[in-house]
Amino acid sequence: MESLSPVPAPVIYVDADACPVKDEVYRVAARHGVKTYVVSNSFMRIPRDPLIEAVVVPAGLDVADDWIAERANARAVVITADVPLAARAVKAGATVLAPNGRAFTESAIGMALATRNLMEDLRSAGAVTSGPPPFSPKDRSAFLSALHTALVRLGRV
| Residue 6, domain member (yes or no) | no
| Residue 49, domain member (yes or no) | yes
| Residue 52, domain member (yes or no) | yes
| Residue 94, domain member (yes or no) | yes
- Return the pLDDT at 55: 97
Residue 54: which CATH number?
3.40.50
Range of the domain at 58: 11-156
- Return the pLDDT at 125: 77
Q: Which of 103, 90, 112 is nearest to 150 (CA)?
A: 103
Query: Over the chain (157 residues), what is each successive 10-residue block's mean pLDDT?
Result: 71 94 96 96 94 95 95 97 92 96 81 63 68 83 96 83
| Residue 4, domain member (yes or no) | no
SS (H, E, C) the chain: CCCCCCCCCCEEEEECCCCCCHHHHHHHHHHHCCEEEEEECCCCCCCCCCCEEEEECCCCCCHHHHHHHHHCCCCEEEECCCHHHHHHHHHCCCEEECCCCCEECHHHHHHHHHHHHHHHHHHHCCCCCCCCCCCCHHHHHHHHHHHHHHHHHHHHC
Please state the domain count of the chain.
Answer: 1
| Residue 57, domain member (yes or no) | yes
| Residue 1, domain member (yes or no) | no
CB count within 10 Å of CB 130 equals 6
| Residue 2, domain member (yes or no) | no
End-to-end CA distance of the chain: 23
